[in-house]
Chains A and B, each alone.
Chain A
Amino acid sequence: MNKAYNPVWARNEALQAAAHRWNRRGLLPLPQLQAIREAYPLGYYRPNIYLRILLFLLTVLGYVAAAGIIAVSAYELFDAVVPWEEQAKIGVVALLAAFAGQFVLYGTIKSSRTYRAGSDQALLYFSLGFAGTALYCFVLALFPLSIDLFALASPYLALWLVPVLALLLWATARFGDALVAALAYVVALLLLANALLQFGAGRLLLPFAIMALAAGLYRLVCYLAARSDYWYYRTCFMALEVLALATFYLGGNYLIVREGNAAIGGLLVSAPIPFAPVFYLLTALIPLFYLYYGLRRYRRVWVLTGLATLAFSGYTLRFYHSVLPPALASALLGAALIGLMAAALRYLRTPRHGLTTAPDNEAGERPGLNLEALIVAQTAHAPQAPEPGLQFGGGQSGGGGAQGQY
């Protein structure tokens, strides 16, 4: 699959970030860092976060307005020329808008070398949105019976979901965008649920099928991450890893299973579910396993997901059983947390088991305050002022307030 962006950009970005980290840890002198920066330049355009948001909004506005103006005239033209059905006409117009968006996106990346700069993301997301709308319209036009398409149990839903999944997978492979990858996974989940709900016993199997799909996705991510173009898809892998862990947990969570079961069955009040002890056990144990594994194997994603899922397990418990009055529970939980963290701080005062509570690097805590680096940069490298086209090439995003002194 040929990639939309230059894969060298992602790799150089990661390499420069690693070199910065070594510099902050005192392993790499500044002149050498400067030499590495010049040997591996960041050849793309990505402004600070405020401008990215602005670019995103302006591009969306321009894209939708242009698509709307052209759509109205195109629609009237179709009306006069071909006696198509309503949905088919809307579908063709949406498809044209999607192609136009992709075409402009391609041109933008070629000419302005934008790389997740807001404008290219806006074009990507909205052109995919238009394409999805077009597919929906075509399904409606081809199968008039599929009017209740959006019901999860509808047998026609797959007609729309399968092409959408293919589209999203293509876009993920081409653009390496985390949001698109996450959406593709969500569509795959919907497809699975839709397929299982066609059978009577499917609803019973659904939680386990979702857990199996999440585990499969995790295996897939591990397998793909060994490829040489890892850096191009790094954000996708991270997003998918979090999603896989989260859905694996949620698939076995008692609250989700019980309330989801009631929602699918159309019940107003949820009833106790079969295999309840299994789900209680999973709700309790999965977060602990995430935490344990994350701490043993030094995986931050696992630790953070473990904490979040642990909190949700607590919420699940309180949802069905009022254990303590909220104020008392809050105070006790707070005290327990403080006690636990105090113990952790004491235990890890000298690093044990490869864990520490000290910050990774002192300067990293206060970015923008490395005055020595600033002085050196302004004096030693003043003659080699970067050419205007490169001024946005800073490897770090603007960081907003984080740049300030505090």
Chain B
Amino acid sequence: MRTAPFIAELRNRGLLTPEQAVAIETDEQTRPFSLHYEVRTLLYLGITLLSGGLGVLIYEHLDELGHGVVVAVVALLMAACFAYAARHRQPFSWGLVAGSSLLADYLLLLGCLLFLVLEGYLQAQYTLFGTRYGLALALPAGLFFYLAYRFDHRGVLSMAITALAAWVGLSVEPLAVFKNEFLTGSVSRAAITLGALLLLVGWLSETRRRKAHFAYTYLLLGGNLLLGAATAAMFTEVLQPLPLLVLLILAVSAGLFWYGRRAHSHVFLLLGAAYGYVAFTYGLVRLLSATGLDIVLALGLYYFIGSTVAAVWFLTHLKRLAGTDAHEQGL
């Protein structure tokens, strides 16, 4: 291996003891070649291709296939996936469950995707849920939440949260989808409420040590939902009053920023800074134009120069802000 000169040099300089040098050299030579990420990627690709292909296949041949056959095949596949996952399940724990099988993880994901395929087919063919579309979305949300917690699976958790968000959106404004009018006041309010709820759940799961590693998913999805909906509502003015909205965005951004520092996470720092900057700039512009003065344009130039400098400062100090600087220095 190419590290052999390094080991020899470190040993000669006294930075490695001879025993360590031998141990490291042996490890470098005998360590098996890891195909972990290749296998994971191919598994994920296979699952996407299979569920996507089945979904399109059913949709295309809705009239030709024997319904019973389709339902049976997909249901059987789904059951097999869930059965495999269940057979390889680990005992439930509120912490991170270690040592779960890779294949079981992916088959659980496939089972969930097939569940959606099956449900869509049943609804399209037999109108199983009639016009109670809410139920059609609440059912997967509930199932996925249960599976995510039981099998300690963050991918399924994201699917559950997505289904939940769809269900909430549908419940508050059932006809918005048909009117092609997605951004209404009530939808925005619901999205902000749901986002806040998800943030709260994420925070609680971390502080109460109830699946603390789920906090990342909750906070990321919840934060994006809340801030995205609030920012969109701010620009399109579907929600009033504006100052309250701006303050809300700033407060949540500050919260995410604080959390990012706490958890040493760059994502939350960037998220908080970006949404906060947009809301702050927009609020400032509205405030200044409300005064009716002519200085806005002149100030704007300086403001953007200043914010560019601030962005550069922020990015240069990102590691120190996140605390990963000391981490990398020390690691």
Contact = CB atoms under 8 A, between A and B. Distances in A.
B328 A395 contact: yes
Interface stretch (B42-50, B191-199, B291-299): B42-50
A368 B324 contact: yes
Nearest to B51: A334
Contact of A356 (B15, B23, B35, B270): B35
How many of chain A's residues touch chain B, expressed as a range?
Answer: 35 or more
**Which of A35, A47, A351, A368 neighbours the largest number of chain B CB atoms within 10 Å of its CB?**
A368
B287 interface: no
A342 interface: yes
Interface in A350-375: 351, 354-360, 368, 370, 373-374
A235 interface: no
Contact of B34 (A30, A307, A356, A398): A356
A348 B322 CA distance: 39
Contacts of B31: 25, 360
Given A32-B16, A230-B2, A330-B56, A398 B266 contact: yes
B266 A338 contact: no
Interface stretch (B133-141, B242-250, B310-318): B310-318
Question: Of B43, B110, B268, B270, which is in contact with the most chain A CB atoms at under 10 Å from its CB?
Answer: B43
Chain A interface SS verdict (over half): helix
A33 B331 contact: yes
Interface in B121-174: 154
A377 B328 CA distance: 9
Given A341-B39, A360-B36, A404 B267 contact: yes
Interface string B9-28: 01001011000100110010
B241 interface: no
Contacts of A322: none
B315 A391 contact: no
Interface string A377-406: 110110000100001111110111101111
A32 B49 contact: no
B53 interface: yes
Given A334-B48, A403-B324, A341 B331 contact: no
Interface in A238-295: 295
Chain B contact patch, size range? 35 or more
B217 A404 contact: no
B274 to A, nearest CB: 11
B176 interface: no
A193 B163 CA distance: 55
Interface stretch (A48-56, A107-115, A119-127, A128-136): A48-56
Interface in A80-133: none
Contacts of B49: 330-331, 333-334, 337
Contact of A48 (B20, B51, B215, B318): B318
Contacts of A39: 13, 15
Contact of B330 (A359, A373, A396, A399): A373
A392 B325 CA distance: 8
B263 A405 contact: yes
Contacts of A300: 33
Nearest to A311: B45
Contact of B50 (A335, A373, A395): A335
Contact of B267 (A34, A51, A345, A400): A400
Given A331-B50, A368-B264, A376-B330, A357 B34 contact: yes
8 contacts: A19-B10, A25-B31, A332-B53, A334-B48, A359-B34, A359-B36, A398-B319, A404-B263
Interface of A: 14-15, 18-20, 22-23, 25, 27-28, 30, 32-37, 39, 47-48, 50-51, 54, 230, 295, 298, 300, 303-304, 307, 325-338, 340-342, 344-345, 348, 351, 354-360, 368, 370, 373-374, 376-378, 380-381, 386, 391-396, 398-401, 403-406
Given A28-B16, A54-B315, A391-B319, 18 more contacts: A18-B3, A19-B10, A23-B331, A32-B15, A32-B20, A35-B15, A50-B270, A304-B38, A331-B54, A341-B42, A356-B34, A357-B35, A386-B329, A393-B329, A394-B325, A401-B267, A405-B264, A406-B216
